[in-house]
Amino acid sequence: MSDSLDLGAPPAPPAGAQPYRVLARKYRPQSFDALIGQDAMVQTLANAIKRDRIAHAFLLTGVRGVGKTSTARLIAKALNCIGPDGQGGATIAPCGVCEPCRAIAEGRHIDVIEMDAASHTGIDDIREIIEASRYAAVSARYKIYIIDEVHMLSKAAFNGLLKTLEEPPAHVKFLFATTEVNKVPVTVLSRCQRFDLRRIPAELLAKHFAHVVAAEGAEAEPEALALIARAAEGSARDGLSILDQAIAHADMAGGGVRADAVRDMLGLSDRNAVRDLLALILAGDAPGALAAIRRQYDLGVDPLGVIRALMEAVHGITQVKVGAPDDPAQPVEERAAYRDWAGTLSFPALHRLWQLFLKGHEEVARAALPIETAEMAILRAIHASTLPDPADLARRLAQGGPLPAVTAAAPPPAAPAPATPPAPADRVPGEFAGVLALLDEIGKLDLLVRLKRGASLVSYKPGEIVLSGNRPLSTDTLGDLAAVLREATGKPWQISMADLPGAPTVFEAEQDVVQARHDAARAHPVVDAAFQAFPDAELIEPKPAKRSIT
């Protein structure tokens, strides 16, 4: 348009200005010495080069960001380095100054071809590689093909590559990288020398990040670097990306990279808050624990992260209890708290907490209401902390002693109530049959049916009933019985279950009586003759004169 505003040409960048490079690219290792956490692989490659036993194909596998592609480029440099004087041979310590080293580092060497299998998946792409591999390298010692994410190749592409991969020309080397080695056909794996790159330990990542921070002229708290290293989960690239963000955040806020800022940036739960929450759980303080996790949620912490942090705490306590070495990246106060808990918590208790939090983590991860699900998981852990120790139960059973079985007593009233007047002595049943008769008398028919069908008596005395665990009843049934008997008799009752054989249930006893009566009837000559004449006949009990509750 003629009347549009002419803004002119965009301003030119300052002379000599370089575009910003993210830390993950800027500090990509340029030598095997700078490749952290992969010492075993470097030693194997060094020995192979020294002995001239270099494989024709390498497969590099590992999680994201551990250095697979960087290692492939380093191998390409090591095989093609000619030294500063141009007379050198293959070496585990490439010079980095010769033309092949510089060209490979800059990604412009004509004989080092990198291909992303995610965007070149078909047989046509592999056919181009097969055709080109017949020709010698233009300027390098070896023609090297680096195929990233090789598991993305199609089945036809893999099959087309097999023959060349098994018997390649002497001047060709293949370097494959993948995060999902299980998707690579076995026929390909068997033709490659495989290196599994390890996750980089958190302490090594933290040291590496400290060097990067110093090189960038920034400052960072050791705890902040430890948090970033843990969040990276063994990936140098992920950690450097987080560090890049943290440095930018610190520059905006003023000052260095602080631990509290990293927690806020990553949405991590404060470790002090996690320890406080775990202490409330172990103390059985349900209201306090719920309030603590709600405070974390209000601060923006993901409920799944809280449960995961609790799992890490339980794992850390268990590690201390078994005598594992201290984690150098662990704060001193956290180490002291773990030692205290390790001295008071048994292994069964720790294992039980781990299982409870693990189940809670699975539930929160797929829940429609994450915070509510996390609260229920914490309440479940609090409730489980009051249960008897399974090891103690097994020990008592082996020794033949009484078992501290699950006890169901009537809950105390919510508000003070006047004392129940003492019941007459004949109101307290002297035997278990009297309990059933009392339930029938006061109209608790549903509870009576449950007991007659499921209660296998071990022992009885007024105020205490022990039932067999071989015929388990629900906790609700035990609690209902304790509450009803307390109200009816005016005294507390203890209803428990023991892992011992008990008497037949009332229903089973009644069935035995009916069966005995049927057997006696069938033995009568007249009845037997009737069954001979009518084989499909059945004996039917006469209807009772009054209602039956069985």
Contact 197, 60 (CB under 8 A): yes
- 271-384, what's its fold? Zinc Finger, Delta Prime; domain 3 (1.20.272)
> In which band, very low, low, confident or very high, does the pLDDT at 365 lie, cut at 50, 70 and 90?
very high
> In which band, very low, low, confident or very high, does the pLDDT at 416 lie, cut at 50, 70 and 90?
very low
> In which band, very low, low, confident or very high, does the pLDDT at 159 lie, cut at 50, 70 and 90?
very high
DSSP secondary structure code for residue 150 in this structure: G
pLDDT digits (tens, 9 = 90+) for 228-249: 888 888 889 989 999 988 888 7
Give 17 or 333, the one with higher predicted confidence: 333
Q: Provide the residue ranges of all domains of the chain, joining segments of one domain with +.
A: 23-196, 202-266, 271-384, 407-411+421-503
**pLDDT for the residue 358:** 93
Least confident of 292-296, 324-328, 333-337, 395-399: 395-399
> In which band, very low, low, confident or very high, does the pLDDT at 454 lie, cut at 50, 70 and 90?
confident
Helix (H, G, I), strand (E, B) or coil at 389: coil
CATH code: domain 202-266 is: 1.10.8.60
Contact 472, 497 (CB under 8 A): yes
> In which band, very low, low, confident or very high, does the pLDDT at 189 lie, cut at 50, 70 and 90?
very high
> Dihedral through CA 82, CA 88, CA 93, CA 97, nearest 10?
-40
Distance CA 49, CA 78 (A): 9
Tokens of 419: 């004392």
Nearest CA to 35 among 91, 83, 75, 84? 75
The arithmetic mean of pLDDT across residues 336-363, rounded, is 90
- 407-411+421-503, what's its fold? GMP Synthetase; Chain A, domain 3 (3.30.300)
> In which band, very low, low, confident or very high, does the pLDDT at 362 lie, cut at 50, 70 and 90?
very high
> In which band, very low, low, confident or very high, does the pLDDT at 424 lie, cut at 50, 70 and 90?
very low
Tokens of 63: 């999680």
**pLDDT for the residue 408:** 40
Question: Which residues touch 252 (CB under 8 Å, ≥6 apart)?
Answer: none
Strand partners, 113: 145
- Across the chain, what does the average pLDDT equal? 82
Least confident of 10-14, 188-192, 288-292, 417-421: 417-421
Distance CA 266, CA 308 (A): 14
**pLDDT for the residue 414:** 43
DSSP codes, 439-492: HHHTT-HHHHHHHHHH--EEEEETTEEEEETTS---HHHHHHHHHHHHHHHSS-
**pLDDT for the residue 119:** 87
Q: How many CB atoms lie within 10 A of CB 232?
A: 23
Name the residue with tokens 């009568």: 524
Give 478 or 402, the one with higher predicted confidence: 478
Number of H helices, E strands in the chain: 23, 9
> In which band, very low, low, confident or very high, does the pLDDT at 420 lie, cut at 50, 70 and 90?
very low
Q: Give yes or no for residue 14 having a pLDDT over 60.
A: no
**pLDDT for the residue 317:** 92
> In which band, very low, low, confident or very high, does the pLDDT at 299 lie, cut at 50, 70 and 90?
confident
- Kindly report the pTM of this predicted structure: 0.57
pLDDT digits (tens, 9 = 90+) for 503-528: 888 888 888 887 877 777 777 776 67
**pLDDT for the residue 76:** 92
Q: What percent of the chain has pLDDT over 90?
A: 28
- For the domain made up of 23-196, the CATH class stated in words is alpha beta
The arithmetic mean of pLDDT across residues 310-323, rounded, is 91
Question: Which residues touch 310 (CB under 8 Å, ≥6 apart)?
Answer: 274, 277, 278, 281, 357
Least confident of 126-130, 188-192, 282-286, 531-535: 531-535
Least confident of 86-100, 101-115, 304-318, 411-425: 411-425
Max avg pLDDT among 60-69, 253-262, 378-387, 534-543: 60-69
**pLDDT for the residue 386:** 56
Question: Which residues touch 381 (CB under 8 Å, ≥6 apart)?
Answer: 281, 353, 356, 357, 360
> In which band, very low, low, confident or very high, does the pLDDT at 377 lie, cut at 50, 70 and 90?
very high
Strand partners, 196: 61
**pLDDT for the residue 186:** 93
Q: What is the CA radius of gyration of the chain?
A: 38
Sequence letter at residue 110 = I
Strand partners, 408: 495
Q: Give yes or no for residue 298 having a pLDDT over 70.
A: yes
> Dihedral through CA 307, CA 309, CA 314, CA 320, nearest 10?
180
